Structure 1
């Protein structure tokens, strides 16, 4: 989607705030013993109060309102009976729609005190997303996002999951430009047009290179097996840089 009118931006910002607030409400409830299904119910109740609809459910018939991935699960985890423990990494990915507009956000949260190496990974994962978003502006190369994130990851001794990409969004959950790499690539010639709506969501890992499916049809795991974090925002490209729409408020 490319924003061309102020009312489009305002509608996008509304659903962006709903997604961000949903994620924050869920994150505040993380404590040892709570199940991922209970966290998901908090997200579902918040969305319903705001008149929003779960995008994974409406688009892909996902068996949950939000995606919750714990530790070895890196994406698309199905909410269920798994109980959160102290020291866990809990990734919450929230995407939703309202009045025909979609937004998508995500973050990895710590349950209590985590291992120092995982704490550093979380801090650097958030920084990697910020670095990627800083490359979003009118007439900038799309490849600049992955190039900048890749330089940061390499300098800090990390790897990047290379088959989970960022994407266009706005009137649907996944739309053009699709497969926006958050790792260095060659041959990417597309440029960012003014008003383009897209996600920036690198998956930073201590050794993982690929996302692979497990026993169910949804949950993804790092291969080689290694801790992984994801932070995600929906942004709009402007002449002066990225306008983040998935901010709580």
Structure 2
């Protein structure tokens, strides 16, 4: 989507706040002993209250309201009977639609007690996203996002999952520009333009290179098997600093 009118910006900011607030409420409720289904139900209640629809359910008939992935699961985890335990890392991905606008956000959360190495991985995962967002702007190369993230990851001894990309969003959950690499690539010659709406969502790992699908047809695991964390915002390219619409408020 390309923002061309003030009402479009208002619509994106509105759904962006909704998914951000949903993520914040879910993360605050996260505690050992609850199931991923119980956590997802909290997200469903928030979206219902705000008059928003789950984007993965609406778009792909996903069997849950949000995607919740625990430990070895890195994305698209189906909420169910899995119990959340102390020391787990839990990724919550919230995307939703309201009034014809879509926004997408996500983050990985630690359940105390947390090992120092996991704390560092999560902090660096968030930093990788921030570095990617800093590359968003009018007439900047889309490939610049992955180039910057790649330099950061390599310098710290991390790998990046290379088949889970960022994407355009706004009028649908996935739209042009599709497959925006969050790892170094020289093949993408596309450039951003003012008003372009996209996600920035690197998957930072300690050895994982690709995502592979599990037996349920949804849940993704890293290959080789390794922990991976993901942080995601929906942003708008401008002539100046990018606008992050998925901030709570």
Query: In the alignment, what sits opposite 1:94?
Result: 94
Question: Would the aligned equivalents of 1:146 and 1:184 in 2 still touch at CA under 8 Å?
Answer: yes
Q: Secondary structure at the match of 1:204?
A: strand
> 1:113: how far off?
1.8
Q: Map 1:130-209 onto structure 2 (within 5 A).
A: 130-209=130-209
Q: Secondary structure at the match of 1:222?
A: strand
> 1:215: how far off?
1.0
Counterparts of 1:71 and 1:101, CA distance in 2: 31
Structure 1, residues 174-194: CA drift from partner, whole Å, max 9, x if none? Answer: 000000000000121000010
TM-score (norm 1): 0.99
Query: In the alignment, what sits opposite 2:212?
Result: 212
Question: Would the aligned equivalents of 1:20 and 1:247 in 2 still touch at CA under 8 Å?
Answer: yes
Query: In the alignment, what sits opposite 2:112?
Result: 112
Question: Would the aligned equivalents of 1:103 and 1:169 in 2 still touch at CA under 8 Å?
Answer: yes
Could you say what the CA RMSD is over the residues aligned between the two structures, in angstroms?
Answer: 0.4
Counterparts of 2:230 and 2:184, CA distance in 1: 17
Q: Secondary structure at the match of 1:238?
A: coil
Number of residue pairs matched?
249
Query: In the alignment, what sits opposite 2:58?
Result: 58
Q: Map 1:36-47 onto structure 2 (within 5 A).
A: 36-47=36-47
Counterparts of 2:122 and 2:64, CA distance in 1: 25
TM-score (norm 2): 0.99
Counterparts of 1:215 and 1:188, CA distance in 2: 32
Counterparts of 2:113 and 2:8, CA distance in 1: 41
Q: Map 1:70-81 onto structure 2 (within 5 A).
A: 70-81=70-81
Q: Secondary structure at the match of 2:96?
A: strand
Runs of 4+ with deviation above 3 angstroms: none
Question: Would the aligned equivalents of 1:135 and 1:241 in 2 still touch at CA under 8 Å?
Answer: no
Question: Would the aligned equivalents of 1:162 and 1:209 in 2 still touch at CA under 8 Å?
Answer: yes
> 1:241: how far off?
2.1
